[in-house]
Chains A and B, each alone.
Chain A
Amino acid sequence: MQTKRPRNINPLSISLPIGALVSITHRLSGILVFLLIPLFLWGLQISLISPEGFNVIRDYLQSPLYKCIAILAAAGLIFHLLAGIRHLLMDLHIGESLKAGRFSARLVILLSLILLILFVYKLGRVAL
């Protein structure tokens, strides 16, 4: 359909409402977690093969590269899980108002950051 209305197709020039930000990040984190599935399966496979395999994964988690990947995976998983719980609660008609939606969106971001920091702290101890 052709319209004369101005169209702004640069997403970076738009200030997203907090709910929209959580929504798009929920999608992006879902794609991220999907892309990391082979890494999870590979890690599970190697870690179960033998004690040596288990140590291989443990040693990998000491290297900066794999630490970064683990943190990225945790970030995606934590956010996707919390944003998903928010969605499920809304499906049960809990927190559906605009005010509650904005509050829970902020809560999801805050809790995700806290849990991610705890994960990084725990991961850091693997190296000690």
Chain B
Amino acid sequence: MSLGGTGLRDWLVQRYTAVFLGIYTLFMVGFVLIRPEVTYEDWLGLFASPFMQISTLFALVCIAFHAWVGLWTVLTDYVKPPFLRYLLEGVIIFTLFGYVIWGIFVLWG
């Protein structure tokens, strides 16, 4: 159920997505911190820009892959009964997929 055959691809996916999510998080923290108060206009203006919309959607896709690799590792380590593990993995995949769809609605809805 891992993304790649050898695990190397999972390892790389985990790192690349982590770097993007780190940069995205720092940008958001910076956006909030450089102004004394964030107004609705600031907030709407930020998320109305195509650059931010694409970046946020990309961040959500990164979260989906990052969380999948991380949670797959955790489930493989701690949930031993195969049926329960596959069930939880299925729930996680659909949940993450749903979050990406939800994000598209939030950003362009």
Contacts and interface: CB of A to CB of B under 8 A. Distances in A.
Given A48-B43, A48-B47, A84 B22 contact: yes
Interface of B: 15, 18-19, 22, 25, 40, 43-44, 47, 63, 67, 70-71, 74, 99, 102-103, 105-106
Interface of A: 27, 30-31, 34, 37-38, 41, 44-45, 47-48, 51, 54-55, 77, 81, 84-85, 88, 91
A48 B99 contact: no
At the interface, is chain B mostly helix, strand, loop or mixed?
A: helix
Contact of B67 (A34, A41, A48): A34
Nearest to B19: A88
A37 B62 CA distance: 13
B74 A85 contact: no
B46 to A, nearest CB: 10
Contacts of B43: 47-48, 54
